[in-house]
Structure 1
Amino acid sequence: MFITCRNMLNLPGLEKMKVVAGAGGLDKVISWVHVTEIPNAVNYVRGGELLFITGVVIGNNTSLMLKFIKEINLKKLSGLVINVGPYIKSTPKEIIDFANKVDFPVFELPFEVRLIDVTQIICKSILIKNSQKESVNNFMKEIIFEDIDITDEILNRAILYGYSINRYYCAIVVDIDDFSSYIKNNELYNEDVILDIKNYIQAIIDEIMHKNNKKYFCAVQSDSFFIMISLGKNNKKMNDSVKKEIFNIANDIKMEINKRLSPITVSIGIGGICSDLKDFKSAISQGKKTLEILKRLNRNNVIVSYSDLGVFRLFFEMDRYDEMKNLFNENLLKLKEYDKKNSSCLIKTLHVYLKNNRNLGKASEELYIHRNTMKYRVKRIEDILQCDLKDEEVVFNIKLCMQIGIFLNLIKI
């Protein structure tokens, strides 16, 4: 879907371009090309460009070239092409060593090859890929946001874009955490800058998918990226193996965005698995619901699967939040008020105690307190709530109310 440093080398007409360093970064996406001879060109690029130099100004000044490549690496360019010839005979060892260390791709291109021809080939390919990306984006929006019948025509379009009727797909939704506040705080009122950030995130997603040898579909709307990742032919359930694979991909996306676009972070909701095109919408919907629940819980920069949300899924579908709050108040309000009045932490103690199946030893270890202290706290909790924590029905109600309290932000654990 994007032109990367790796697949650029396979473009017709670029046979004489070769990688000399930074092969570990060949999956970097090329947003555009830029030809320069001035060392301060770093001030005129946005990030993601492939930079060409002939060395007319820098020449064989290795220290100046090293300073230059360090700056463009910090600027998150995709790579550097050195036009070797009369001004730069070959890439200096210092440049190769640095590029290999940071996985920054460096290429050599013979001086007799016309730069205008090479840059036109790359730019034309980028424009074609961007057009394809936009077509897939619009098609995916139709599938996952609109109520349409999957006709033979729609199915054929999907197959044209890479859909396989014999494979399963897993939905993930990547959402930029509180992006509106980030825009406001940084006074980013230029639409082009905001679009650049979103394009960069999509490029990072593409890089990660390439590294994991994954085919995928992506639609972008507002601050979210809706993705269907191709799985194997037999991966029709979210078993441990599939879950681990998807979580690893999601974590790579999250970590790479954190690293390259700090302080921007993303949260990722993992939805359902399906094969039929008509089920893409419901699979994505699960990922969306996961993120909506995470927002209610005030959690960000996390990866959560819809299948792991348990009772929170039920709470989310209920419209009776007042009744849920009443249930919490009936069972746990006294303990919450006691904690507030006495600066104690009995709500947390109760949560840990129940989480450890009422095992005093394990609960006291988790809270770093003596077993007798834990025993005293449990007795105090029973006195305040006027309940018996050995009663299974009582414990069930309290566990449920504890989850309600977390979901409605009535308590902090």
Structure 2
Amino acid sequence: MHLTVEEALTIYPLSRAKLVAGEKGLSRILRSVNVMDAPDAGDWIKSGEMLFTTAFVMKDHLDMALSTLRMLDERGGAGLGIKVGRYWDQIPQELYDEANRLEMPILELPFEFTFSDQMDALFNAEHTKTTKKLQTVLEKQKQLMQFALRNKESSDIFHMISGILGQPIAVFGQGGNVLFHNTSWSEEIILHQWPWTKSPQWEGFGDTRCFRIPLMDSLGCTGFFKVYVNSPLMLKEEEALFHQAAEILTYHLGLDIQKGKDPSRQHALSQVFMDFFQRELSFHDFMKSCKSYHLTVMSTTYQCVLTTIPSEQPGATRLLNEVRQLLIYHPQLQQYESEHFYLADGLFSIFALPEEQTFHKKDFLTSLNSCLSHLTSKTSVAGLHCWVSRVKAQPELIYNAFKECLETHHAAERLRMSQTVLHHDSIELFSLFQHLSEEAMRGYYNYVLEPIYGKNKQVDPELALTLEVYFEYDGSINETSRYLFVHRNTVSYRLEKIADLLQMDFKKMSDLLRLKLAFLFRNYLK
């Protein structure tokens, strides 16, 4: 039996009982009912038990009644039911007061019904409730099976599973990044005590509990899954339902992204794109293959991202899988239809842009940076970069987009640019001037930056660092102050001093362009 006292009071004939004290304890769990007919009955009280009594053994011993009530509270009992009219005409006031203090419900039981009538009714109600619950679990299992048999990757998988379970859920990548949650809790709370052990476990959250399950595939843990429930007790069959949902999530998040081991649509498309980029496949045959695999992201304006991780990085393959998880399922990227393929150069992604974002590249870049922020904040992750192409409007420009990603990658390495997400526009100036001789580049940056970096110049190193960071963050004072851990007014003051030294005006586009070129040449020649 597993009812609250409040629920038990709705079941006939116990519904004829009267709650006379301990109203704040109505949420206590009632697991069993015992009849008290001996002076030492209190010694046998169990957690969740309610005692029924005629008050025969305590009618002349108020201390025994108070002691029994306290023992019920100490052992987690559910309450005390007293049949008034035979040995007690009314319940003593002292017992009322103590029950209210302990928040222990006291019921005046209906005189016309036997204890067995009321106990049978409770057990029958619990049996009916459990049967209905099992039927609901069976129906949910059928829905999960129907969903799994679709065998189709869907960005809406989290909403679908949460809807089938009828409970809020949270899904995490293998690094603890939140891929999805529709709970009322903050990310900080639902990540409490991370990292977690790789075994199923219940957690408590105030009045709510959650069941945490690791998502395990043949290579290990690909993430975690939590189901949040407000029921104090779950059937084993319900836990099995949660495990079934976890298996489906494991398939969608793990098995279908193992490079070179899955003959699925993604792996086949990866080969198509590699053949096309290596000019082993004509554009006509390329588009024919894309159409046969129902690839639609290039039918509108789109933008491409090449994600690279150095092969010497420990766990590079698993880390790239984790990035793919984020790019598909992160809430801020859900608005974009996307496709993701493994190529020899890294993970190649195509994002279809909403019409209103076609000319606003910052919206997409902001979402991309936000998506990767949790991952890149970990000290164990180094060398992760996303190289972003310009927006394209025709399918035949996909090769150009891929080349732009590669160009951005190679230029950033030569220019020692450290940003995690870098747009092709950032290296546009370099592509224009890369054919200048090194002598010409060196002469130009020496001429422009000589007041700061010239020989025998005693310039505060903080000023030089501030200028470098200022240009690295595209002239953003806020980002510069955040990077240097100083107030934005301090950055403004330093920039004024630098402008005086260089005899420049940072409000003039021509002066900013001169400095941009000087730093570009300086970084390249380093």
TM-score > 0.5, shorter chain as reference = yes
State, as a whole percentage, how many aligned pairs show the same letter.
9
Displacement, 1:28?
A: 5.5
> Does 1:318 pair with 2:435?
yes
> Does 1:255 pair with 2:405?
no
- Aligned residue in 2 for 1:175: 308
Name the CA distance, whole Å, in 2 between partners of 1:115 and 1:70. Answer: 7
Deviations 1:223-279 (A, max 9, x none): 6322111124686x5x23xx1331133113321423578534633222122233321
- Aligned residue in 1 for 2:408: 290
Deviations 1:192-222 (A, max 9, x none): x443222222222221379523222223235
Displacement, 1:280?
A: 0.6
The 8 Å contact of residues 210 and 227 in structure 2, kept in 1 or not, is answered as: no
Bigger helix share: 1
Letter in structure 2 aligned against 1:206? I
- 1:230 and 1:78, CA in 2 relative to 1: closer, same or farther beyond 3 A? same
The 8 Å contact of residues 170 and 230 in structure 1, kept in 2 or not, is answered as: yes
- 1:300 and 1:365, CA in 2 relative to 1: closer, same or farther beyond 3 A? closer
Deviations 1:371-394 (A, max 9, x none): 7x678x54xx57xxxxx99xx9x9
Letter in structure 2 aligned against 1:157? S
1:78 aligned counterpart, secondary structure: strand
- Aligned residue in 2 for 1:208: 330
1:274 aligned counterpart, secondary structure: coil
- 1:396 and 1:111, CA in 2 relative to 1: closer, same or farther beyond 3 A? closer
Pick aligned residue for 2:351 from 198, 207, 229: 229
Deviations 1:57-85 (A, max 9, x none): x8x9979xx89849999x77331579xxx
Pick aligned residue for 2:168 from 14, 21, 24: 21
Displacement, 1:311?
A: 1.9
The 8 Å contact of residues 170 and 180 in structure 2, kept in 1 or not, is answered as: no
Pick aligned residue for 1:155 from 287, 292, 304: 287
Taking structure 2 as the reference length, what is the TM-score of the superposition? Answer: 0.47
- Aligned residue in 1 for 2:224: 78
Name the CA distance, whole Å, in 1 between partners of 2:495 and 2:256. Answer: 67
- Aligned residue in 2 for 1:135: 268
Deviations 1:154-180 (A, max 9, x none): 32221223226641211122233x563
The 8 Å contact of residues 339 and 349 in structure 2, kept in 1 or not, is answered as: yes
Letter in structure 1 aligned against 2:294? Y
Displacement, 1:22?
A: 2.4
The 8 Å contact of residues 324 and 404 in structure 1, kept in 2 or not, is answered as: no
Name the CA distance, whole Å, in 1 between partners of 2:378 and 2:466. Answer: 39
The 8 Å contact of residues 136 and 161 in structure 1, kept in 2 or not, is answered as: no
Name the CA distance, whole Å, in 2 between partners of 1:342 and 1:367. Answer: 21
**Structure 1 unaligned blocks of 5 or more:** 30-41, 46-50, 83-90, 97-106, 184-192, 357-363, 383-387
Name the CA distance, whole Å, in 1 between partners of 2:308 and 2:294. Answer: 24
Name the CA distance, whole Å, in 2 between partners of 1:310 and 1:274. Answer: 16
Deviations 1:80-122 (A, max 9, x none): 579xxxxxxxx566899xxxxxxxxxx9954797989995997
Displacement, 1:314?
A: 1.7
Letter in structure 1 aligned against 2:323? I
- Aligned residue in 2 for 1:189: none
Name the CA distance, whole Å, in 2 between partners of 1:341 and 1:398. Answer: 21
The 8 Å contact of residues 27 and 211 in structure 1, kept in 2 or not, is answered as: no
Pick aligned residue for 1:368 from 470, 475, 493: 493
Letter in structure 2 aligned against 1:321? E
**Structure 2 unaligned blocks of 5 or more:** 1-150, 173-177, 182-195, 477-488
- Aligned residue in 1 for 2:386: 268
Name the CA distance, whole Å, in 1 between partners of 2:416 and 2:410. Answer: 10
The 8 Å contact of residues 170 and 228 in structure 1, kept in 2 or not, is answered as: yes
> Does 1:246 pair with 2:393?
no
Name the CA distance, whole Å, in 2 between partners of 1:226 and 1:147. Answer: 18
Deviations 1:6-52 (A, max 9, x none): 527869xx99x6142325779569xxxxxxxxxxxx76x5xxxxx7x
- 1:321 and 1:273, CA in 2 relative to 1: closer, same or farther beyond 3 A? same
Structure with the bigger RCO (C-alpha within 8 Å, sep 6+) is 1
1:314 aligned counterpart, secondary structure: helix
Displacement, 1:293?
A: 2.6
Letter in structure 2 aligned against 1:174? T
The 8 Å contact of residues 174 and 267 in structure 1, kept in 2 or not, is answered as: yes
The 8 Å contact of residues 62 and 92 in structure 1, kept in 2 or not, is answered as: no
The 8 Å contact of residues 28 and 78 in structure 1, kept in 2 or not, is answered as: no
**Structure 2 matches for 1:54-93, cutoff 5 A?**
69=212, 77-80=223-226
Letter in structure 2 aligned against 1:163? T
Q: CA RMSD in A?
A: 5.4
- 1:395 and 1:343, CA in 2 relative to 1: closer, same or farther beyond 3 A? closer
